[in-house]
Amino acid sequence: MSAATFPDLARDRKSGAFQEYQTEVTEGMVVLDVIHKIQAEQANDMAVRWNCKAGKCGSCSAEINGMPKLMCMTRMNTLPADKPVRVEPMKTFPLIRDLVTDVSWNYEVKKTIRSLKPRKAGCAGWKLADAAGGMWIGRRSFGNVLSVSFAKDVCHVLRDHHMHSEFIGPRFLVYAAALECIRWITEDRLKDLKDEHGIGLCNITKCCTKVCPEHITITDNAIIPLKERVVDEFFRSAGRVV
């Protein structure tokens, strides 16, 4: 058994302060276990969001020692034992209280992305003989899109420049790419990606790929192919970029 000190960002970013808690850590514990232990024994009013505790929903995303991680998947024995573990809320979203942020922006953005609209003529279930468009990348390569949620936390367009109204972020670019993979779609999302979703704002730093817990190659397999399709559609003339 060893001790760990957990700072907790209190109340709001302007008036809040970090609070240190010291508790016993046993073998196999993850950060979320320790947060729950502190909540139960020392800080009953600590606000923390979680759901599946299986690394799938992304609800317990937080910054741990300065890096966005899933608290339920970050084992204590992987963190330095000789100094406090710093746990704070994601910086890309407005803080509600303690470790809970307002992520309602995600739901509003998803509404702006054209959903699936299959063809009627010639369609038999998932098969379509006259399907338009190629399957330019396998959909399975995107893995669990929910786990890409905190990729937005390191996206400089959102984190540093706060362009939430102009850029949908890496998670929803992955979602759009997954929809574009399906052969029997009829909706055209390329114009939206160019005009409404700000795909041109991504300058391919690959920071979102580096923090993905499921090792989804977000940049190479989703964002870059989408950029190429937008360029092919709107900016190429006679084989040359104009």
Query: DSSP E strands: which ranges in 32-179?
Result: 61-64, 67-70, 87-88, 95-97, 100-101, 123-124, 127-128
The predicted model scores a pTM of 0.74
Q: Which helix (H) or strand (E) holds 187?
A: none
What lies within 8 Å, CB to CB, of 103 at 6+ separation is: 93, 149
pLDDT digits (tens, 9 = 90+) for 179-209: 887 766 667 889 999 999 999 999 999 988 8
Distance of CA 55 to the CA centre of its chain: 12
Mean pLDDT on 101-124: 77
Q: Which helix (H) or strand (E) holds 31?
A: helix 31-41
pLDDT digits (tens, 9 = 90+) for 32-47: 999 999 999 999 999 9
CA distance 128 to 154: 39
CA of 174: how far to CAs of 89, 110, 131, in Å? Answer: 23, 12, 22
Q: Which helix (H) or strand (E) holds 236?
A: strand 236-237
